[in-house]
Structure formats: structure tokens, C-alpha cells
Structure 1
Amino acid sequence: MNTLKAEKRSMDVKAKKLRREGYVIGNVIGREIETSIPIKMQKKDVERLLKTDGKGSQIMLEVDGTPYDALIKDVAYNPNAGRIDEIDFQALVSNEKVHSVAEVILLNHEKLAEGVLQLNLSEIAYKALPAALVDKVRIDVGEMRIGDAIRVKDLDIAADKDIDLTTDPEAVVVTVTAIHPEAVPETAEETES
């Protein structure tokens, strides 16, 4: 489990100023936290963390030396500025189920013999105790054929008794469809000599 260091943020300093100084802002919420804790983290530390962890990942968040077993609840990207604006965390309680999501990762798509993969769900929503949290669902699509479909209920996460799915088990995650060639318009024969 990765660790991210953060500091409590003074609300007197504007977010814009903190971002210019190389920080990413965020909040920590949780059942055992009275009010949300506004925090700031070093931008380089956040970028390093997000290379391996994302929304739905469980990390150790250290706020001014106090460790929190935390879930990354939301990551707000600013595509225009090319930066991460804010990350929100939920401090976990070991005996309390939390809502989370697992990112769908397709494996071996280069081995697909025919057809086109269509990813219909990029994440699976569920509830689980902190010990059962999953941040990624890997699906091997290398053996799929045209007409094949994988539904949420077909995934390992659906068979896990410690996980309560909130995404519909019948929802299609990925399918393989035939490639339909574009209709080529017929051109009139050229009669110029």
C-alpha cells in the first residue's frame, strides 16, 4: 500500500495560490472525522502516486504525521491546465463498508483474432469492508470472438462474497462486434478523353 504525505491546509490561503506553489488540494472525510479535513499535498508526490493508484485505490494518507487508512474517492483533473486540481479521500473504518469503484483493465486485446472490442463499462461500483477493497478488475479478452460478451456477473469481483455489487450484474462490460466495412460510393465512369 502506497503512502502519501499531506498537511492540513489553512483556508485563508486560496487554492489558486497553493497550486502556483506546487500543491494539490484535497479533503479527508470519514465517519470518525467530525468535519472534513482540508489538506494540501506536494504536486510531485501526487503525480507519483497516481502512476500506480487511482480512484478506488486504498492508500495510507499521512496528515501532519497522523496516518489514515484512506480510499481515493475522487480525482479532479483540469485538462485545460494539464494538472490535477483536487483529490478527495475517505478515511476508512475497518468494520464499516464503503462505496468504491474498480477500474476495468482489458488484457491481451492485441491477441483478438477478429472483430472490434467495445468497452461499455470502464469501472464497476461496489460496497465492501476496507480489507476486501479492489481497485482494478482485469479481464483477459484474448480468446473472445465476434458476438461474445462479458457481463459484470461473469467477473471475479461478482463471485467475491465480501463484495456487494452496486453496478447491475447483468450489465455488459465488454463485447466483440464484427467490423462493418464502410459502403464505398460508386463513382461514375469518367467519360473524358
Structure 2
Amino acid sequence: MNTLKAEKRSMDVKAKKLRREGYVVGNVFGREIEGSIPVKMPRGEVEKFLKVDGKGSQIMLDIEGTQYDVLIKDIAYNPIAGGIDEIDFQALVSNEMVHSVAEMVFENHEKILSGVFQVDLEEIAYKAYPSAIVDKVRIDVGDMKVGDVIRVKDLPLAADKDVHITTDLEAVVASVVAVHNVPEAEEETEEAEAETK
């Protein structure tokens, strides 16, 4: 498990000022934390960290020497500045289920030669105890053919008794559809309509 260092943040200093000084702000909340702990982290460290871990990842947060087992609950990006504004962390309690999401990672989709590979779900929502948290679900889709569909219930995560999936089990995660040449079809319809007039 990776560790990210953070410092407690004084609420007297505005988040905007801290961001200008090169920090990412955040909050740590959880059942055993009264209110929340406002934190700040050096932007460079956060960006390096997020190359490996993302939303839904379980990490160790070191706040001035105190270790917290946390879940990265939310990441707020600033599209204008092109950086990260804020990260929220949920402190985990071993006997308490938490809501989280797992990112779908489709492997070998470039091997699909017939049809078009379509992704319908980018992440799956679930509840689990800290020991069963996953941040990525990897699926090898290289053997998929036109007409093949992967549903949430088909994922290995759905078979894990320690994980309670909250996304609809019948929801389509990915599929391979036949290639349709749409413009020609539209022209034929227009011609047919012209003939009937």
C-alpha cells in the first residue's frame, strides 16, 4: 500500500492561496474522526502519486506522523488550470463497509478485428470491507466477437462474496457491435420516401 504525506491545513488560509503556493487541498473524514481533518499536500507529490493510485484506491495517508488507512473518495480536477484542486479521503474502519468504485480496465481490445468494441461502463460501484477493496477490474476482451456482451454479473468482482455490487448486475459493461454504414442507410431512406410521395 502506498503512502502519501500530508500536513494539517489551517482554515485561516484560503484554498486558492494554497493552490497558488503549489499545494493540493483535501479533507479526511470517517466514522472515528470528529468533523473532518483539512489537509494540504505538495502538488508534485500528489501528481506523482496519482499516476499509480486513483479514485477508489486504498492508501496510507501520513498526516504529520499519524498514519490513516484511507480510501481516495473523490478527486476534483480544475480543467482551466489543468491540475488537481482537491482530494477527499475516507478513513477506513476494518469492520465497516464503505462505498467505493472500481475502474474498468479493458485489456487486448486492439485484438478485436470484427465489429466495434463499445464501453458502456467505465466504473462499477460497490460496498466492501477495507480488506476487500479493489480499485481496478481488469478484463481480457481480446476474444470477443460481434454480438458478445459483458454484463456486471459476468465480472469476477460479482462472484466475490466480500463485495456487494451496487451497480445494476444486468447493466452492460462492454460489447462488440457490427459496423453499420450509417450514411448509406440514410440515403436509401430518403430515396424511399421520395418514391412514396
Normalised to the residue count of structure 2, the TM-score between the two structures is 0.92
- d(CA) in 1 for partners of 2:80, 2:19: 14
Q: Deviations over 1:13-68 (max 9, x none)?
A: 01111001110000000000011000000101100110011100000001111000
Question: Post-superposition, which runs of at least 4 consecutive aligned residues in structure 1 deviate over 3 A?
Answer: none
Post-superposition shift, 1:182? 3.7
1:77 is paired with a residue of what secondary structure? strand
Q: Aligned partner of 1:131: which letter?
A: S
Equivalent residue runs for 1:17-166 within 5 Å: 17-166=17-166
> What is the total number of aligned residue pairs between the two structures?
186
Q: Where in structure 1 are there 5+ consecutive unaligned residues? A: 187-193
Counterpart check, 1:169 vs 2:169: yes
- d(CA) in 2 for partners of 1:183, 1:14: 54
Coordinate RMSD, CA, aligned: 1.1
1:103 is paired with a residue of what secondary structure? strand
2:124 is paired with a residue of what secondary structure? strand
- d(CA) in 1 for partners of 2:75, 2:95: 25
Normalised to the residue count of structure 1, the TM-score between the two structures is 0.94
Q: Higher helix proportion, which one? A: 2
Q: Deviations over 1:117-147 (max 9, x none)?
A: 1111100000000000000001111100111
Q: Aligned partner of 1:173: which letter?
A: V
- d(CA) in 2 for partners of 1:120, 1:38: 36
- d(CA) in 1 for partners of 2:183, 2:64: 63
Q: Deviations over 1:142-186 (max 9, x none)?
A: 100111100000000000010001011111000111111242569
